[in-house]
Amino acid sequence: MNSALLKAHIAGIGTYVPEKILTNFDLEKIVDTNDQWIRERTGIQERHIASAEQAASDLGVIAAQRAMKNAGVTAADIDLIIVSTVTPDMLFPSTACVIQEQLGITEAPAFDLGAGCTGFVYALVTGAQYIATGAYRNILLIGTETLSKVTNWSDRSTCVLLADGAGAVVLQPGAADGGVLSFTLGADGRGGKYLFQPAGGSRLPATMETVQKNLHLLQMSGPEIFKFAVRKLPEIAEEVLAKAGLSISDIDFLIPHQANARIIEAAAKRLGLPMDKVLLSIAKYGNNSSATIPLAMDDALKAGRIKNGDLLLLIAFGAGLTWGGVALRWTKTD
């Protein structure tokens, strides 16, 4: 990164998961599965599920309010809102605009960004560019998902994985030796067929037939994504570190997207990184897409594991296929 540009720091973080918890034992009553299979094959024990009334914006608003409080900023301070979601309230207006209204923020530009489960990393990198140029000084980034609303609850290969939740951060400019140090982003549209929601867009608008065929629900080729992720995550990590002139041994914590504990363990092994340097929160949250990284980060902060000056490596992959990583020096003082 150009050293003349400003560095983007996380000045505040907030998260929210819906109250309702769905355990593996609950799932045993819905599909042909069992707790042992889910735990051993995915690392998930339970997940949070939104109520019928809760949309992505509702989760995002609570996470955003907590992040703003944590950063010590008010609605009047926010000058840009970026929301990452694959489960927007509606196709339009953007969920960012819905959240803007609910937070009482007026006039700040607001837009959604779609990069599947890499969305939080894409949003962080995007926000960091506006900070770097000095265009905006208080950016609200929100990853919010209600995957349960697009889950096929009769498909055991996907319904045991998916979950709901939200995470938000406030980005501000800060000291040159901290914040976002380097990043990488990528995409390969040829892999779009491995994880998608066939109907509901302009390709296949909603009809009685699309609904009857469950085409508005998420479809996934699990083993294809698994192989891709295990290969890609270590590459992302090495690329981001090299760009910052750092190496694996410099990492204090790896914060990967939480899709399957076995993917994360395989990536850590390939990198030669011990698991005590990997923040894992999948057991209690499952895969809530753009929210997994801020949730893992917030849990570790609350547990006092992340300290000032720590080098955090955020890496993710998702629908698109997309991927991305950020090396971040943690600098928040309180």
- Positions marked active-site: 117, 257, 287
The reply to whether 223 sits near ligand COA by the rule CB under 6 A is yes
The reply to whether 318 sits near ligand COA by the rule CB under 6 A is yes
> ∠ CA 271-274-278 to the nearest 5 degrees?
90
Of 35-43, 58-66, 265-273, 302-310, which part binds ligand COA (CB under 6 A)? Answer: 35-43
Minimal distance, residue 287 CB to ligand COA, in Å:
6
> Which among 285, 281, 147, 277 is positioned nearest to 218, based on CA atoms?
147
**Residues 147-181: b if buried by 16+ CB within 10 A, e if exposed:** bbbbbbeebbebbbbbbbbbbbbbbbbbeeebbbb
Q: Which residues from 58-77 bind ligand COA, rule CB under 6 A?
A: none
The reply to whether 146 sits near ligand COA by the rule CB under 6 A is no
The reply to whether 219 sits near ligand COA by the rule CB under 6 A is no
Angstrom distance (rounded) from CA 53 to CA 325:
34
> Which among 277, 240, 275 is positioned nearest to 261, based on CA atoms?
275
Minimal distance, residue 332 CB to ligand COA, in Å:
28
* Residue closest to ligand COA when measured from CB atoms: 222
The reply to whether 45 sits near ligand COA by the rule CB under 6 A is no
Quick one: tokens of 319?
A: 């629908």
The reply to whether 156 sits near ligand COA by the rule CB under 6 A is yes
Binding-site string for ligand COA from residue 245 to residue 284, where x marks contact by CB under 6 A and - marks none: --------------xx------------------------
Minimal distance, residue 5 CB to ligand COA, in Å:
31
Q: Which is nearer to ligand COA, 102 or 157 (CB)?
A: 157
The reply to whether 153 sits near ligand COA by the rule CB under 6 A is no
Angstrom distance (rounded) from CA 300 to CA 287:
17
Helices 95-103 & 56-71 angle (0-180, nearest 10): 50
Amino acid letter, 318: G
- CB contact at 8 A, 55 and 146: yes
- Residue 288 DSSP symbol: -
The reply to whether 222 sits near ligand COA by the rule CB under 6 A is yes
Which residue, chain included where needed, has tokens 């406030």? 170
Of 31-39, 167-175, 231-239, 247-255, which part binds ligand COA (CB under 6 A)? Answer: 31-39
- CB contact at 8 A, 183 and 313: no
Angstrom distance (rounded) from CA 247 to CA 184:
15
The reply to whether 33 sits near ligand COA by the rule CB under 6 A is yes
Residues that bind ligand COA (CB under 6 A): 33, 37-38, 41-42, 117, 156-157, 160, 195, 220, 222-223, 225-226, 229, 259-260, 287, 318
